[in-house]
Structure formats: structure tokens, C-alpha cells
Amino acid sequence: EADPIKDRYEDSFDIGAAVEPYQLEGEQGEILKRHYSSIVAENVMKPISIQPEEGKFNFEEADKIVQFAKDNDMELRFHTLVWHSQVPDWFFIDKKGNSMVDETDPKQQEKNKQLLLKRLEKHIKTIVKRYKDDVDSWDVVNEVVDDNGNLRESPWYKITGTDYIKTAFETVRKYADEDAKLFINDYNTEVDPKRTALYELVKDLLEDGVPIDGVGHQSHIQLGWPSTDAMEETYQMFAELGLENQITELDVSIYGWPPSGEFNTYEEITDDVLQQQADRYNDLFKLYERNQDIISNVTFWGIADDHTWLDDRASQYSNDGIGKDAPFVFDPDYNVKPAYWEIMD
Ligand code: G3I
């Protein structure tokens, strides 16, 4: 049996995986227990899953992941309290049934803002109180900066400005365990102008006393992009602000951008591509290891190549509507890939 990845990096950082509850059982469950020391929900802790209707909280699926983490003594990341996607519409509809985003009257706008911040507080308070003893790292806000370097024009932003960010962090800090770490999470954090925008935002929020402990770098990356130099520079930039870094959603797509989806099945993927990916993983884990003082967790956005959101993406962009990606270190049958040997070396 393959040596556990978590043991290889025990002295450096936790090794995590994102999961759907059905993956906690059977062969996938065994791989999880053997190789990973940290876990995060791929979908079931997002606002639409936990509070689909106002006041109706649904913790059933989320609880399964929390229980698995407890039973197996794993770190738990919570993803995510605030996002512009997978958030139910009711958050942004006022008591008369109108969209708050479209409101033009300044007096009503102010009322809407207060209402939305109250709803946000209640959402966060309910979740954090339930899981405070279990969660080690909270993704408090996700993807609040746009690729063009502006703050993302989400309903949250249109209705409250940046107050939703402040309220979110302050509410988590108020109810969470004092050792729990609070993260701002995003993708393409290594790429300008987004990187600079995120840096400036975090710096301003910190100066404003907003309790941020770390930056989550999603790391949905490609074989040759972004460069490891850019990544290293990024982690060090945020560390200089006194923040922790976590790699929160790592996957290495075998495609460039846009993904061609040229491989329709895993079997069609060439050894050459898998070796390129293995080399990339080697560079990445070397980079993480030499920055272990400023990186506390490296989480993959899945377990094995049988289940990845990148298949949907590759299919969407592919000419024939079918595309298979293979971003992890385990193949679709849960066997180790060349990338596994490189990160264990
Ligand atoms: O649950 C429904 C199911 O009832 C329905 O039949 C089915 C039909 O399409 O959809 C199911 O919901 C899907 C959901 O995943 C659960 O499987 C959604 O369509 C699908 O869009 C959703 O995709 C997730 C995506 O976030 C949503 O934007 C991916 O699984 C998940 O990997 C992805 O994760 C995000 C991170 O949260 C943030 N960073 C980027 C990352 C990748 O996009």
C-alpha cells in the first residue's frame, strides 16, 4: 500500500481534501483516512446548502463531514460563509419582495443594507455556534475581488459596500473558538492586477481592525501557469502582513486556458501529459516545503480523478462537449499516479 501523503508532510503542513458526503464511505473513505489530515466540504457548507430558505437551516450533510473529521482526528476547514455563488436569492430580497440590488431610494437602500447585514450575522452566528469546537479554519469570505482588480460587484457589494466583509469577520471572531483561524479565500491570488488588489484590500481591512488571520489561495492551476516564482512571491507578500497562508483548493489541470477537453476519457490521456503534471507537482511541493513556515495547510479540491469539477469545465469548453481532466495524484480507480511519486520523493 502506498505510504500516506500526510506522513510525508507531517512536520510541514496538513494535507487536506475537499469531499462530498458520499465520498466518506468505501474506498474513497479509506484513502481519505490514510492520506489526509484535513478535510473540507466541496459544496455542503455553502449558504445554499445550509440555509436554502430564510430561517430553515439544514445541517444534515454538513454534520456528516464534521463527524468524520472528529472520528478520524482531522483538521476541519469550513467553506464558505460568504460567496456570490451558491447563495440563495432570499438574502437579497426585501420584505416587500423587491430585489435590494435594484433599489434607488437612498433611505430604502440604507434599510436594505441593515437588513442584509442582519441576515448575514444570523447565518454566521448560527453556523459558528454549532461548529465552533470543530472548525480549525473558516473561509469567511470567498472571491470578493474580481480578476480585473476591482471589488467584485456581487449583490453583497452592491447592497453593503465592503461592510459585509467587515461584519462577516467580526461575527465569526465573536463566536468562534479563539484558536480558530479566519481566512479570506480567492483564486488567481498570484496574478496581477488581482493580487495587488487583494493585498491592498487586506491591508486596509487589517488597519481597520478587521480580524483576518490568513489568506486562502485556491490554486486552481495549470501545468505551466502561474509560475512558481509568482506563487512564492505571493505567499511571502501576505506573510509580511503577518498573515498565514493556506493552499485551499489545489488542482493541476492538464489543459491550458481555455481547456481544450481533447481527452474524452482518462485512458486517452498520454503518459507524457501525466509526467508533465508530475514534474509540476514536484515543483509545487518543493515550493510549499521551503515555505512551510508561512503555509499551514495544503488542501486538494478533491481526492482522485474520478470526481472533479474540472470535468464539467473541460466538457463545457470542448468542441465535442466531452472533456476529461485529471488534476490529482490518484487516478479514477484510486491508484497512485506519477504525480504521487514526485510529491513523496
Ligand atoms: O446538487 C445539485 C443536484 O441536485 C442537481 O441535480 C445537479 C444538476 O446540475 O446540480 C447539483 O448541484 C451542483 C453542485 O456542484 C453539487 O454537485 C451544481 O450544479 C454545480 O454547479 C456545483 O458545482 C460546484 C461549484 O463550486 C459551484 O460553483 C463544484 O462542485 C465545486 O467544486 C465548486 O467549487 C468552487 C469553490 O467552492 C470555490 N472556488 C472555485 C471552486 C471550483 O469552481
If we measure between CA atoms, which residue out of 152, 167, 171, 151 comes closest to residue 113?
Answer: 167
Ligand 1 centroid to 44 CA: how many Å? 10
Ligand 1 centroid to 40 CA: how many Å? 14
**Sequence-distant (≥ 6) Cβ neighbours of residue 206 within 8 angstroms:** 212, 241, 242
Express each pLDDT in 246-284 by its tens digit: 999 999 999 999 999 999 999 999 999 999 999 999 999
If we measure between CA atoms, which residue out of 175, 151, 36 comes closest to residue 84?
Answer: 151
Largest CA-CA distance found in the chain, in angstroms, rounded: 65
Q: What angle do CA 336, 337, 342 make, to 5 degrees?
A: 105
User: Mean pLDDT over residues 45-65, rounded?
Assistant: 98
Q: What is the pLDDT of residue 183?
A: 99
**Sequence-distant (≥ 6) Cβ neighbours of residue 293 within 8 angstroms:** none
Please give the full DSSP string across 183-234, using - where no structure is assigned: EEEESSTTSTTHHHHHHHHHHHHHHTT----EEEE--EEESS-S-HHHHHHH
Ligand 1 centroid to 237 CA: how many Å? 31
**Rounded percentage of the chain residues whose pLDDT exceeds 70:** 100
Please give the full DSSP string across 214-228, using - where no structure is assigned: EEEE--EEESS-S-H
Cell of 55: 430561517
Output the average pLDDT for the chain: 98
> Can you tell me the distance from the alpha carbon of 104 to that of 342, in angstroms, rounded to the nearest whole number?
57
pLDDT band, residue 9 (cuts 50/70/90) = very high
Q: What is the pLDDT of residue 229?
A: 98
User: Mean pLDDT over residues 111-125, rounded?
Assistant: 98
Burial class (CB within 10 angstroms; exposed 0-12, middle 13-18, buried 19+) of 330: buried
User: Mean pLDDT over residues 276-304, rounded?
Assistant: 98
> Can you tell me the distance from the alpha carbon of 48 to that of 57, in angstroms, rounded to the nearest whole number?
10
Q: Which of 42, 244, 249, 342 is catalytic?
A: 249
The finding on whether 335 has its CB within 6 A of some atom of ligand 1 is no
Ligand 1 atom nearest 46 alpha carbon: 37
Q: What is the pLDDT of residue 132?
A: 98
The finding on whether 331 has its CB within 6 A of some atom of ligand 1 is no
> Can you tell me the distance from the alpha carbon of 63 to that of 342, in angstroms, rounded to the nearest whole number?
35
Report cis status (omega within 30 of 0) of the bond before 171: no
pLDDT band, residue 217 (cuts 50/70/90) = very high
Which residue's CA is the nearest one to ligand 1's atom 43?
Answer: 309
Q: What is the pLDDT of residue 186?
A: 98
DSSP assigned state of 23 = G
Residue given cell 472548525 in the structure block: 135
Kindly state the helix (H) or strand (E) to which residue 124 belongs, with its residue range.
Answer: helix 106-131
Whether pLDDT at 1 is above 90: no
The finding on whether 251 has its CB within 6 A of some atom of ligand 1 is no
3-state secondary structure 53-109: ECCECCCHHHHHHHHHHHHCCCEEEECCCECCCCCCHHHHECCCCCEHHHCCCHHHH
The complex scores an ipTM of 0.94
Ligand 1 centroid to 43 CA: how many Å? 6
The finding on whether 86 has its CB within 6 A of some atom of ligand 1 is yes
Q: What is the pLDDT of residue 5?
A: 98
DSSP assigned state of 3 = P
Instruction: Please indicate whether residue 30 is annotated as part of the active site.
Output: no
**Sequence-distant (≥ 6) Cβ neighbours of residue 338 within 8 angstroms:** 274, 275, 277, 278
Kindly state the helix (H) or strand (E) to which residue 78 belongs, with its residue range.
Answer: strand 75-78
Q: What is the pLDDT of residue 222?
A: 98
25: left (phi over 0), alpha (psi -120 to 50) or beta: beta
Regarding pTM above 0.90, the answer is yes
Whether pLDDT at 100 is above 90: yes
> Can you tell me the distance from the alpha carbon of 219 to that of 83, in angstroms, rounded to the nearest whole number?
17
If we measure between CA atoms, which residue out of 153, 133, 135 comes closest to residue 144?
Answer: 153
Q: What is the pLDDT of residue 173?
A: 98
The finding on whether 316 has its CB within 6 A of some atom of ligand 1 is no
